[in-house]
Structures are given as structure tokens and as C-alpha cells.
Amino acid sequence: MNLLTIDLAAIDWARAQFALTAIYHWLFVPLTLGLGLIMSVMETKYYRTGDSFWRQTAQFWQRLFGINFAMGVATGIILEFEFGTNWSNYSWFVGDIFGAPLAIEGIVAFFMESTFVAVMFFGWEKVSRGFHLASTWLTWLGATISAWWILVANSWMQYPVGCEFNPDTMRNEMTSFFDVALSPFAIDKFCHTVISSWIVGAVFVVAVSSWYLLKRREAEREMALKSIRIAAFVGLIASVLAGATGHKSAQTVAAVQPMKLAAMEALYDGGTAQGLKLVEGIEVPYALSFMATNDFDGFVPGINDILKGYTRADGTVEPSAQEKMNRGRLAIAALQNYRRDAADEKDFLAGKAPDMNFTARKEEQLAILKDNIQYLGYGFIKDEVELVPPVAVNFWAFRVMVGFGGLFILFFVVLLAAIYRFPKALWKDHDIAALPAWHYWLAIILVPCAYICSESGWLVAEFGRQPWTIQDMLPISASVSNIGSAAVATTFWLFLVLFTALLAVEINIMLKQIKKGITNK
Amino acid sequence: MKKSSFWYRAYHLYYDGFRQMTLGRTLWLIIGIKLFIIFIILKLFFFPDFIGQNAEKGREAEFVAKEVAARTP
């Protein structure tokens, strides 16, 4: 097998390094998106009431936002370095598609965030209340728009649309910017990812506030109580919406990445009226069919169905893995023949070779390539087993994500019930500001849970699309650069040290700032 | 430059803001160190442009075609 010409360990190290970088990067992003929203709501309260309490409160949360923002700056840029070094074939393949969204992201991030962040931190005494409020909202909006473009790029890898492969340049070229930017996959991913980040922000605010209540800090008591109230509303709305957008995402995944859905459910043999497993052996009847198709009797293919081929509800036939692999090989052979004919034609035009009717030959190869291009990636697959993602990781990551999601809905419902003392009989002897300590500790413990929930979502998204870097078009084995594993392993450990140090610094500064409290002394 | 002009006020916003920073100083220091590590050390020494280094200028597509072809079973 030709794959043996590359260092196979390099593939694993490159994947591990990318996963490490992405996971660490995602520790900073959701808090920026979530806390950004909550601090903006708080400043809006100040704008509307003119009460200096809300100004102090907004400033306090903005300080914590600033720490997280500063720690997260540029951690994502390393992913782009990795594309160029470890994933050069992939990088070349997608260059034209990724260029536009990432350039927009860079420009928006730089100009919008840097301008309005400065006004937000430096402008309290220098600009009007309205302008300052607008800057705070625009800081959050800038971060959210940045996330949009990054998620558009990621979504294209999962559902490549709005493009055409050019065999001369070996690149995918964009044919429709709007198809790329507004693909259903991108919209679902954006809504689910950003909204679930609000949960992280809400849990964080509740946890920090709970700590003040736990420590009986009088100076922060009012801020803590009012912050919890706002965060509880944001958290509940976000948790419910994350469930709804998650349901919509599952349907999109069922349509365009059925193997991912089958792996999430460890569903080997599918069918109609499928139940959703809570854990192996216990399931909710019909729930998987409903989740995937909005129909309790809907057909959901399992891993074996996808490998063997199956007929969809609309009567269309999904070819077997073997047929896709055969057609992928036809596509690769046609691509190679086309490129060889194109090179020979150049020689002919330069007077170095006789005419062999190159134009007709190229067109013939191009036609074969176009007929089979949707299965190009399958031509690199040696054994159909390679097409099955890691089932256990997908299965459990999905359950962790959904389980914590359900827990957060419950948590915020109970929290709001406690705040508003509803029903009165249940809460009459309880004051939210003077609960037994374990209540506050529970809220604090939910912070790592929120991060685990958020990261689990990414594990499902990224493990579930294996072995593809671009769905059906390019597998990881063809995407990776022909580099030594030692070089990638070195940078892996380097990143581990760097990011862990950054995280430790962030936590340290954050805790010090929290201890200082609202007065910042 | 007039003190009431937009550019003066914008300059003053940043100038005063940076001058009066407390926590911000620490954060900027960390950002500076981080950017130095990322763009100077990591990018220059550990993350070369693989295709740029290994393919002839203008023949990158050919290089990628060969690399990809070598990965077929």
C-alpha cells in the first residue's frame, strides 16, 4: 500500500495535535460568547436605569470577560499554522474555499473586536452612555460574527457545497459564496454552538455569584443575587434553545452525515421506528427516528446499512461502500489521466511531442471525473472498515453532551423557582442568599460540567466525521503532509505545555480578580 | 489637532486608557509574550509552509497531485 511511504504515526500525532489545539482554543471561546451576552444585558440595565450599581456590576463582569478574552487571543491562529505544515494537501485542496471566510473573520475580529473592546474598557468616562452600551454589544456581536465565519469553514468540511473541484489547480473553487456561507449545516452549527456557549457564560456567572454568597461577602451580595437572576434567565433560554437547535442539527446530520448519526447511537442495523438509547440496553422508543426525521416511524440507517447500501424513504438508493470505493478509484484514475494528458498537451504545444488528440482525451477523462467526483475520497480508502468512526467515543460524547444539557435545563428551572419562590410552600423557608453551603458548591461544580458539555459537542462533531477531513472528498490519510512524526510530536508537547501554562495563568488571574470583588481592591 | 476633533478624542481614548491600566498591563504582557511565542518561535521554527518548502514555485498543484496519488491503495 502506498500509504506506507508516509510515516503513519505522523497522522496520529497530527490529529492529536489538532484536537489538542482545538480543545484548548474552545476553552476560551464559549465564555467570551456567553459572558459577553450577560455583561451586555447588565450594561443595558445601567443604560436604562442610570443606577451606578449596574455600572459597577457590568464593569466587574467585563473585567472577567477581558481576562478570558486576552487569554484566548490568537490561540486559534495556531490551527491555521497546522493546516500549512501538517495538513498541506488538505490545505491546498480547500484553499480557495477557506480563504474568504477566514479573511472575513480576521478582518471582522481585528477591526470590530479591537475597536469596541477598547471603547468598552477605556471609554466609561470618555463616551456617552449610549455609545458605550453600543460598543459593549458590538464587542459581543463581533465575537459572535467571528464565530460564524469559523463555523462556516468547519461546516463546509462536513458538508462541502458551493464549490467545484478544478483538476488543473487541484483545488476546490468557490462557485457560490452564499451556498458556502448560508449552508443549512452552517446555520444549524452556528445556532447550536453559539447558543450553547451562552450556557457556559450563564453557569459561570451563577458559579462566581454563588461563591460570593457562600463566602457571605456583603459587598458583593446584591451583585451576586441580581447577576444570578439575569444568568438564570439567559441560561434557561439558552438551554432550551440549545435543545431545539440540537434537534435540528441532528436532522441535518442524519441527512448529510448518516454515518455520524449511526456512530452517535452505536446503531449497527437500522430500520424504521428506532428508539434512542439512553445507555446500552435502555432506550426511549421511537425517539431516534423522531430526532433524525421528525417522524416517529422514520427510517434511520445503521452502520451496516450504510456500508452495504440502502434505500431511503424517498426511494433513492445510497450505494454501498464498495461501490463508492470503486467509483472513487475511477475518479482518481481519471484525475491522474487528465493531468497526464494536460502535461503532454503542453509538450505538444511547445513542439516537444506529437499530437495525440489531447483535447478529446482530456474531455473524456473529465467526464469520468465529474461522474464520480462525489466519491473521490472513497478512492483513498483501502478497507470499508476505515469508513466507520470511533463508535464508543461518539456514543458517550453524545450522551455526555445531551445529559448535561438536560441537567442545565433542570438546574436553571430550579434556580428560577428558588429566586421567585415558586411554589411558595416549597420555598417559604429558603432564602437564596442564605442556603446551605452545598447548594453553592453545586453551582460552582457545574462550571467544569458546562465546559465538558461544550467540548463533548465538538467531540461528536469531529470524531463523527472520521475518516474525512472533507466529507466524502478527502480522508485524513490523503490530507496529511509527508512529514516525520517526531516533528509533530515535538510541537504537540510544546503546545501542551504552552496551553496548560496559559490556562493556569488565566485561572490564577481570574480567581484573584474574583476574590477582589466588585470594588476591585 | 483640535481637542474636539474625532481623531484627537480617539487618540486620547487609547492614550489615557493604556496609561491608566492596572489589570490590563498584566494582560497585555501575557498577550505580548504569547504573540511572540506563536508568531516568532512557533511559526518561524516549527511550522514551515510544507508545500512552499517542497514544491517548485508555480508547480504546487503538480506536487499535491503526486502526494495525493501516492496515498491511493
Q: pLDDT tens digits, residue range A142-182?
A: 999 989 989 999 999 999 999 999 999 999 999 999 999 99
Domain count, chain B: 1
Q: Is B67 on the interface with A (CB under 8 A)?
A: yes
> Do A252 and A293 lie in a common domain?
no
- For residue A385, is it within any domain? no
* Chain A interface includes B64 (CB < 8 A): yes
What is the three-class DSSP state of A63? Answer: helix
Nearest Cα of chain A lies from the Cα of B1 at a distance, in angstroms, of 18
Average predicted confidence (pLDDT) for chain A:
92
Q: Does the CB of B1 have a partner CB in chain A at under 8 Å?
A: no
Higher-pLDDT residue of A96 and A139 is A139
| pLDDT value of position A355 | 77
Tell whether A414 and A333 lie within a shared domain.
no
Q: Is residue B55 part of a domain?
A: yes
pLDDT at residue number B4? 76
Indicate yes or no: CB of A89 within 8 angstroms of CB of B47. Answer: no
Say if residue A478 is in the same domain as residue A426: yes
pLDDT recorded at residue A203: 98
Domain hosting residue A295, numbered range: 276-380
Distance to chain A for B51, nearest Cα, Å: 6
Which pLDDT score is estimated for A329?
Answer: 96
Amino acid identity, residue B45?
F
Q: Is A373 a member of any domain? A: yes
- Nearest in space to B25 (alpha carbons), one of B17, B36, B13: B17
Q: How many domains does chain A have?
A: 2
**More confident: A452 or A345:** A452
Question: pLDDT tens digit string along A55-83?
Answer: 999 999 999 999 999 988 888 888 889 99
Of the three residues A361, A380, A399, the one that is the final residue of a domain is A380
Considering only CA atoms, which of A24, A467, A487, A382 is closest in space to residue B34? A24
Domain shared by A160 and A250, yes or no: yes
Instruction: Mark whether A375 and A402 lie in a shared domain.
Output: no
- Is A334 within the bounds of a domain? yes
Q: Identify whether A401 is part of a domain.
A: yes
Output the CA angle A19-A20-A26, nearest 5 degrees.
85
In a domain, A422, yes or no: yes
> Does A379 sit within 8 Å of B34, measured CB to CB?
no
What is the average pLDDT across A469-475? 96
Distance CA A50, CA A472 (A): 56
Q: Give A186-198 pLDDT, tens digit per residue.
A: 999 999 999 999 9
Alpha helix ranges (H) inside A420-436: 424-427
Interface check for B44 against chain A (CB to CB < 8 A): the answer is no
Cross-chain Cβ contact B47/A5 below 8 Å: no
Query: According to the model, what pLDDT value does residue A111 have?
Result: 80
| Chain A positions in Cβ-Cβ contact with residue B65 (cut-off 8 Å) | 170, 335-336, 339
Mean pLDDT for A367-384 is 96
Name the residue range of residue B63's domain. Answer: 6-69
Asked if residue B59 is part of any domain, the answer here is yes
Q: Do A92 and B73 touch (CB under 8 A)?
A: no
8 Å CB contact of A2 and B70: yes
Report the candidate in A189, A151, A155, A235 with the shortest Cα–Cα distance to residue A405.
A235
Chosen domain end from A335, A356, A380: A380
| Co-location of A396 and A370 in the same domain | no
Query: Is B45 in CB contact (< 8 Å) with chain A?
Result: no
Q: Is residue B1 part of a domain?
A: no
**Phi and psi angles of residue A152, each rounded to the nearest 5 degrees, phi first:** -65, -45
Q: Do A54 and A196 reside in the same domain of the chain?
A: yes
Q: Given this model, what pLDDT does residue A97 score?
A: 84
pTM over 0.90: yes
**Is B60 among the domain residues?**
yes
Percent of chain A with pLDDT over 70: 98
Domain for residue A265, yes or no? no
B31 touches chain A (CB under 8 A): yes
**Residues in chain B, pLDDT under 50:** none
Does one domain contain both A151 and A95? yes
A94, A229, A415 from A430: Cα distances, Å: 58, 16, 12
The DSSP code for A275 is P
- pLDDT band for position A1 (cuts 50, 70, 90): very low
Same domain, A93 and A208: yes
In a domain, A180, yes or no: yes
- pLDDT at position A200 over 50: yes
A1 belongs to a structural domain:
no
Whether A498 sits inside 8 A of B37 (CB atoms) is yes
Instruction: At A388, give phi and psi (nearest 5°).
Output: -95, 120
Question: Measured between alpha carbons, how far is A260 from A499 in angstroms, rounded to an integer?
Answer: 30
Q: How does residue A5 score in pLDDT terms, banded at 50, 70 and 90?
A: low
Contacts of A507 (CB under 8 A, 6+ apart): none
Mean pLDDT of A298-303: 96
Distance from CA of B17 to the nearest CA of A (A): 5
Please check whether residues A376 and A394 belong to one and the same domain. no
The reply to whether B47 touches chain A by the CB within 8 Å rule is yes
> Exposed e or buried b for every residue in A363-398, given b needs 16+ CB within 10 A?
eebbebbeebbebbbbbbbeebebbbbebebbbbbb
Mean pLDDT for A92-105 is 81
**Domain finish residue from A380, A412, A434:** A380
CA B35 to chain A, closest CA, distance in angstroms equals 7
For residue A273, which amino acid is it? Answer: A
